[in-house]
Amino acid sequence: WGAGGSTTDLTLELSSNFQQQFCLETQMHLTCTNIEKDSVTAALKTAKENGIRNILCLRGDPPHGQEKWEVTEGGFANAVDLVKYIRQTHGDTFGIAVAGYPEGHIDHFKDLPEITPEAYKKDLQYLKDKVDAGAD
Protein backbone atom coordinates (compact mmCIF):
# COMPACT_ATOMS: atom_id res chain seq x y z
CA TRP A 1 0.00 0.00 0.00
CA GLY A 2 2.62 2.43 -1.13
CA ALA A 3 1.80 5.95 -2.24
CA GLY A 4 -0.77 5.99 -5.00
CA GLY A 5 -1.47 2.27 -4.64
CA SER A 6 1.98 1.37 -5.95
CA THR A 7 2.63 -1.77 -3.92
CA THR A 8 0.90 -4.09 -1.49
CA ASP A 9 3.26 -7.03 -1.06
CA LEU A 10 6.03 -4.96 0.52
CA THR A 11 3.63 -3.54 3.12
CA LEU A 12 2.54 -7.02 4.16
CA GLU A 13 6.11 -8.30 4.25
CA LEU A 14 7.46 -5.39 6.28
CA SER A 15 4.53 -5.34 8.69
CA SER A 16 4.72 -9.08 9.27
CA ASN A 17 8.50 -9.00 9.77
CA PHE A 18 8.33 -6.09 12.22
CA GLN A 19 5.64 -7.85 14.23
CA GLN A 20 7.13 -11.36 14.14
CA GLN A 21 10.90 -10.87 14.10
CA PHE A 22 11.29 -7.69 16.11
CA CYS A 23 8.16 -7.92 18.31
CA LEU A 24 7.24 -4.36 17.37
CA GLU A 25 3.61 -3.32 17.68
CA THR A 26 2.82 -2.71 14.01
CA GLN A 27 0.14 -0.68 12.28
CA MET A 28 -0.44 -1.81 8.71
CA HIS A 29 -1.73 0.73 6.22
CA LEU A 30 -4.59 -0.22 3.90
CA THR A 31 -5.83 2.07 1.16
CA CYS A 32 -8.62 1.85 -1.38
CA THR A 33 -6.34 2.86 -4.27
CA ASN A 34 -5.94 0.24 -7.02
CA ILE A 35 -7.11 -2.59 -4.79
CA GLU A 36 -9.98 -5.05 -5.01
CA LYS A 37 -11.90 -6.47 -2.07
CA ASP A 38 -10.32 -9.93 -2.49
CA SER A 39 -6.85 -8.45 -2.01
CA VAL A 40 -7.94 -6.66 1.16
CA THR A 41 -9.49 -9.90 2.43
CA ALA A 42 -6.22 -11.74 1.84
CA ALA A 43 -4.17 -8.95 3.45
CA LEU A 44 -6.34 -8.97 6.56
CA LYS A 45 -6.01 -12.76 6.81
CA THR A 46 -2.21 -12.46 6.58
CA ALA A 47 -2.18 -9.62 9.11
CA LYS A 48 -4.22 -11.66 11.58
CA GLU A 49 -2.03 -14.75 11.09
CA ASN A 50 1.06 -12.65 11.82
CA GLY A 51 -0.29 -11.01 14.95
CA ILE A 52 -0.84 -7.58 13.41
CA ARG A 53 -3.76 -6.01 15.24
CA ASN A 54 -3.63 -2.38 14.13
CA ILE A 55 -4.81 -1.15 10.75
CA LEU A 56 -4.78 2.38 9.31
CA CYS A 57 -7.60 2.73 6.78
CA LEU A 58 -7.21 5.42 4.14
CA ARG A 59 -8.87 6.20 0.85
CA GLY A 60 -5.39 6.81 -0.53
CA ASP A 61 -3.92 9.12 -3.12
CA PRO A 62 -4.59 8.97 -6.84
CA PRO A 63 -2.27 6.53 -8.60
CA HIS A 64 0.91 8.00 -10.05
CA GLY A 65 0.06 9.84 -13.24
CA GLN A 66 -3.62 10.33 -12.38
CA GLU A 67 -4.87 13.72 -11.26
CA LYS A 68 -8.12 12.51 -9.72
CA TRP A 69 -8.80 9.54 -7.46
CA GLU A 70 -11.19 6.93 -8.88
CA VAL A 71 -12.82 3.84 -7.38
CA THR A 72 -11.27 0.55 -8.44
CA GLU A 73 -13.84 -1.86 -9.86
CA GLY A 74 -14.52 -4.48 -7.19
CA GLY A 75 -12.91 -2.29 -4.54
CA PHE A 76 -13.86 0.27 -1.93
CA ALA A 77 -15.06 3.82 -2.57
CA ASN A 78 -13.58 5.36 0.58
CA ALA A 79 -12.22 4.74 4.07
CA VAL A 80 -15.74 4.44 5.51
CA ASP A 81 -16.42 1.45 3.25
CA LEU A 82 -13.08 -0.09 4.19
CA VAL A 83 -13.71 0.34 7.93
CA LYS A 84 -17.22 -1.14 7.61
CA TYR A 85 -15.87 -4.14 5.73
CA ILE A 86 -13.18 -4.84 8.32
CA ARG A 87 -15.66 -4.60 11.19
CA GLN A 88 -18.20 -6.81 9.38
CA THR A 89 -15.65 -9.49 8.56
CA HIS A 90 -13.32 -9.34 11.59
CA GLY A 91 -15.30 -7.72 14.40
CA ASP A 92 -12.94 -6.26 17.00
CA THR A 93 -9.89 -8.27 15.92
CA PHE A 94 -8.20 -5.11 14.70
CA GLY A 95 -7.81 -1.65 16.12
CA ILE A 96 -8.72 0.66 13.25
CA ALA A 97 -7.25 4.13 12.82
CA VAL A 98 -8.37 6.65 10.20
CA ALA A 99 -7.23 10.03 8.98
CA GLY A 100 -8.73 13.23 10.31
CA TYR A 101 -7.86 16.63 8.89
CA PRO A 102 -7.90 19.53 11.39
CA GLU A 103 -7.55 22.04 8.55
CA GLY A 104 -9.80 20.11 6.17
CA HIS A 105 -8.94 17.61 3.44
CA ILE A 106 -7.01 19.05 0.51
CA ASP A 107 -9.68 17.81 -1.92
CA HIS A 108 -12.02 20.43 -0.44
CA PHE A 109 -9.81 23.44 -1.08
CA LYS A 110 -6.85 22.65 -3.33
CA ASP A 111 -7.85 25.44 -5.73
CA LEU A 112 -8.83 27.89 -2.96
CA PRO A 113 -6.81 29.81 -0.37
CA GLU A 114 -8.70 28.05 2.45
CA ILE A 115 -11.53 25.63 3.07
CA THR A 116 -15.09 27.01 3.11
CA PRO A 117 -17.17 26.58 6.29
CA GLU A 118 -19.56 24.30 4.40
CA ALA A 119 -16.76 22.07 3.14
CA TYR A 120 -15.21 21.98 6.62
CA LYS A 121 -18.51 20.80 8.13
CA LYS A 122 -18.73 18.14 5.42
CA ASP A 123 -15.19 17.01 6.24
CA LEU A 124 -15.98 16.77 9.97
CA GLN A 125 -19.09 14.76 9.16
CA TYR A 126 -16.98 12.39 7.08
CA LEU A 127 -14.65 11.86 10.06
CA LYS A 128 -17.70 11.13 12.21
CA ASP A 129 -18.91 8.66 9.57
CA LYS A 130 -15.58 6.81 9.83
CA VAL A 131 -15.90 6.58 13.60
CA ASP A 132 -19.56 5.52 13.35
CA ALA A 133 -18.48 2.80 10.88
CA GLY A 134 -16.18 1.34 13.52
CA ALA A 135 -12.92 3.30 13.56
CA ASP A 136 -11.28 3.66 16.93
Instruction: Say how far apart CA 112 and CA 7 lie, in whole Å.
Output: 32
* pLDDT value of position 66: 84
Instruction: Say how far apart CA 45 and CA 49 lie, in whole Å.
Output: 6
Beta bridge partners of 27: 54
Across all residues in the chain, what is the average pLDDT?
85
pLDDT tens, 9-65? 666 677 776 767 777 778 888 999 888 999 999 999 999 998 989 999 999 888 878
- Name, in order, each residue with C-beta under 8 angstroms of 93's C-beta and a sequence gap of 6 or more: 48, 53
Give pTM, 2 decimals. Answer: 0.83
* Number of C-beta neighbours around residue 118 at 10 A: 9
In which band, very low, low, confident or very high, does the pLDDT at 8 lie, cut at 50, 70 and 90? Answer: low
* pLDDT value of position 4: 44
Mean pLDDT of 84-88: 98
Instruction: Say how far apart CA 27 and CA 117 lie, in whole Å.
Output: 33
* pLDDT value of position 135: 98
Q: Which residue has the higher pLDDT, 131 or 108?
A: 131
